[in-house]
């Protein structure tokens, strides 16, 4: 395979990230200008070859992004401006979108053009010959301006299936006009991998310009289609972080990159950068304010999580028994879950992870497994609450001292005729020989409880002020009992350096919240002292 260069880095395949443009078209995603700058910097830190910054002709925010991007230190990563070929029967010099691309100042211009005759006739409402002229003249215009031009052949694979001669004529025209790259797009995401391979082999006979792939995920095949394209000779792959994008999304570079590097032996990031992948994926997810799928390959929180006792027993002997790669290579880590499906091996692994000395043949160890399974049967879910599990184990093996004790708790809810609701929590806790009695209001009973407890602990444990509740989830476990149903409360907490989760279960939602809240604070205090 041809080796190409970005800066002084030799790479086999160039990663073109379109999170800021194509990814932003995903439902529920809207990036501010500041968001786009932060993501661009993170992508450059990861080491992708191209960042598609947006469509400067479509909105002022994207045009402003390109102005700011000129001042950024993005190492060897190039910023590309996206836009379409000129409009039908409009000179390039008078086409507003074309001129906005020029105004962006981007040294790389990505032009999208129609390659499916159906789209030319129905969407553009122009002739097949005029479409060829639009592609030829727009590419030539930017080449005359000294720009690198990437031609995105939209609906390329669908076009080939319906009118292969015309679609191939388009890429030949783009190549003759001077395009530096021809990107073959599966825009509707409906192509199968064997179709991708067959068509690319045909294209390679027609043109010598470097090829790339842009795949959508409507059939769940975007990553596999992209890998097949690389195997057939494409040296640029376009995709988005976490697969964000319109409809079912784009090819996920968080799966593409490790598959290319670890499975196919092709360099697509600077040496040593693969370990940054998980951090980059979660960082972009946080800015996009999108839930991060635990089972996302390579970078998901649960990608290397093990629950079954037989699996964990084998892992203790050799991680290769149930892991296809070392999770550290992509910046992730192994997690062993303890639940009702656990065997003795799960507990032993977890204890070793926490540096707790456990005798695998001890009756106490076996009793603990039985107790954990009984708690799970009652509704506790330790696999999603590692902090509560660690506290449970340390208490069981006498490696934990209570930081405070509850003496009394009272919560008052008041609703007036204007439907205003106020909550106040009064709490009495004992820390050593001292008793602290405080009260605080909140937006609801749990918030009031949290505020009051923090207020009581703050004098002795000021580090409590450093943490905050980042998420609060309630699940009804047995809905047939109506308002008397048992509930499970999961609380996610965080400070500047760490995140942790705790759990509580009760028929009383306040009691379940109290259990999870107390575990959350105790876990913080424990970690500060280990």
Q: What are the boundaries of each domain within the chain? A: 4-288, 305-396, 405-529
Residue 299 half-sphere exposure toward CB, CA atoms < 13 A: 25
Token pair for 125: 């409402």
pLDDT, residue 377, reads 72
Phi-psi map region of 125: left, alpha, beta (phi>0 left; psi -120 to 50 alpha): left
Distances (CA, A) of 252 to 16, 36, 64, 265: 11, 18, 27, 18
- In whole angstroms, what is the distance from residue 7 CA to residue 75 CA? 8
- In whole angstroms, what is the distance from residue 50 CA to residue 331 CA? 22
pTM score, two decimals?
0.76
- In whole angstroms, what is the distance from residue 372 CA to residue 389 CA? 9
- Identify the CATH assignment for 405-529 out of 1.10.357.10, 2.40.40.20, 3.30.160.270, 3.40.50.300: 3.30.160.270
- In whole angstroms, what is the distance from residue 156 CA to residue 167 CA? 7
Token pair for 20: 């800021």
pLDDT, residue 482, reads 63
Contacts of 181 (CB under 8 A, 6+ apart): 149, 150, 151, 209, 210, 211, 212, 236
pLDDT, residue 145, reads 96
Torsion, CA 177, CA 183, CA 189, CA 193, rounded to 10: 120
Handedness of CA 199, 200, 201, 203 (dihedral sign): positive
pLDDT, residue 8, reads 42
Helix axes 509-529, 386-396, angle to 10 degrees: 70
- In whole angstroms, what is the distance from residue 229 CA to residue 250 CA? 15
Neighbour-count burial for 4-33, b at 16+ CB within 10 Å, e otherwise: eebeebebbbbbbbbbbbbbbebeebebee
pLDDT, residue 18, reads 98
Contacts of 123 (CB under 8 A, 6+ apart): 114
Residues with pLDDT less than 50, the chain: 1-3, 6-8
Q: How far apart are the first and last CA of the chain?
A: 52
Torsion, CA 288, CA 294, CA 297, CA 298, rounded to 10: 80
Contacts of 90 (CB under 8 A, 6+ apart): none
- In whole angstroms, what is the distance from residue 357 CA to residue 80 CA? 55
pLDDT, residue 342, reads 58
- In whole angstroms, what is the distance from residue 206 CA to residue 135 CA? 18
pLDDT, residue 380, reads 76
* Block residue for tokens 């830190």: 45
Q: Which CATH superfamily is domain 4-288 in?
A: Aldolase class I (3.20.20.70)
Helix axes 363-378, 344-353, angle to 10 degrees: 100
């Amino acid at each position: 395979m041809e080796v190409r260069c970005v800066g002084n880095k030799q790479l086999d395949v160039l990663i073109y990230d379109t999170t800021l443009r194509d990814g932003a078209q995903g439902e529920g995603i809207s990036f501010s200008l500041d968001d786009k700058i932060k993501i661009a910097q993170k992508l450059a830190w990861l080491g992708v070859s191209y960042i598609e910054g947006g469509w400067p002709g479509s909105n002022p925010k994207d045009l402003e992004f390109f102005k700011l991007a000129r001042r950024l230190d993005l190492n060897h990563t190039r910023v590309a401006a996206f836009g379409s070929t000129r409009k039908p029967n409009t000179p390039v010099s008078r086409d507003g979108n074309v001129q906005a691309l020029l105004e962006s100042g981007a040294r790389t211009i990505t032009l999208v053009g129609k390659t499916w005759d159906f789209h030319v006739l129905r969407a553009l409402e122009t002739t097949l010959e005029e479409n060829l002229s639009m592609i030829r003249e727009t590419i030539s215009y930017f080449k005359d301006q000294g720009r690198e031009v990437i031609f995105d052949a939209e609906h390329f694979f669908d076009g080939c299936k319906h009118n292969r001669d015309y679609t191939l004529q388009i890429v030949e025209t783009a190549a003759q006009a001077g395009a530096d790259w021809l990107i073959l797009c599966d825009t509707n995401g409906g192509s199968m991998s064997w179709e991708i391979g067959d068509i690319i082999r045909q294209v390679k006979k027609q043109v010598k310009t470097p090829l790339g792939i842009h795949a959508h995920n409507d059939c769940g095949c975007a990553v596999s289609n992209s890998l097949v394209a690389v195997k057939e000779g494409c040296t640029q792959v376009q995709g988005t972080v976490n697969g964000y994008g319109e409809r079912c999304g784009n090819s996920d570079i968080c799966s593409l990159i490790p598959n290319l590097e670890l499975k196919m032996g092709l360099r697509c990031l600077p040496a040593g950068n693969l370990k940054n992948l998980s951090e980059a994926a979660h960082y972009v997810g946080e800015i996009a304010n999108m839930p991060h799928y635990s089972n996302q390959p390579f970078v998901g929180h649960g990608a290397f999580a093990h629950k079954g006792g037989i699996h964990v027993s084998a892992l203790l002997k050799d991680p290769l028994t149930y892991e296809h790669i070392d999770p550290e290579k992509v910046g992730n880590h192994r997690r062993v879950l303890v639940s009702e499906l656990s065997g003795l091996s799960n507990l032993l692994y977890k204890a070793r992870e926490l540096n707790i000395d456990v005798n695998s043949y001890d009756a106490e160890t076996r009793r603990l497994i039985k107790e954990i399974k009984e708690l799970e049967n009652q509704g506790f879910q330790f696999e999603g609450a590692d902090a509560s599990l660690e506290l449970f184990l340390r208490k069981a093996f006498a490696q934990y001292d209570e930081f405070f004790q509850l003496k009394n708790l009272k919560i008052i809810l008041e609703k007036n005729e204007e439907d205003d609701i106020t909550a106040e929590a009064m709490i009495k806790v004992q820390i050593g020989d001292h008793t602290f009695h405080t009260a605080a209001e909140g937006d609801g009973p749990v918030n009031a409880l949290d505020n009051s407890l923090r207020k009581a602990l703050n004098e002795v444990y000021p580090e409590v002020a450093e943490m905050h509740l980042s998420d609060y989830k309630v699940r009804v476990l047995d809905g047939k009992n109506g308002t008397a149903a048992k509930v499970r409360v999961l609380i996610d907490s965080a400070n500047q350096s760490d995140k942790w989760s705790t759990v509580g279960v009760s028929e009383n939602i306040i009691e379940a919240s109290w259990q999870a809240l107390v575990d959350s604070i105790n876990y913080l205090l424990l970690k500060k002292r280990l």
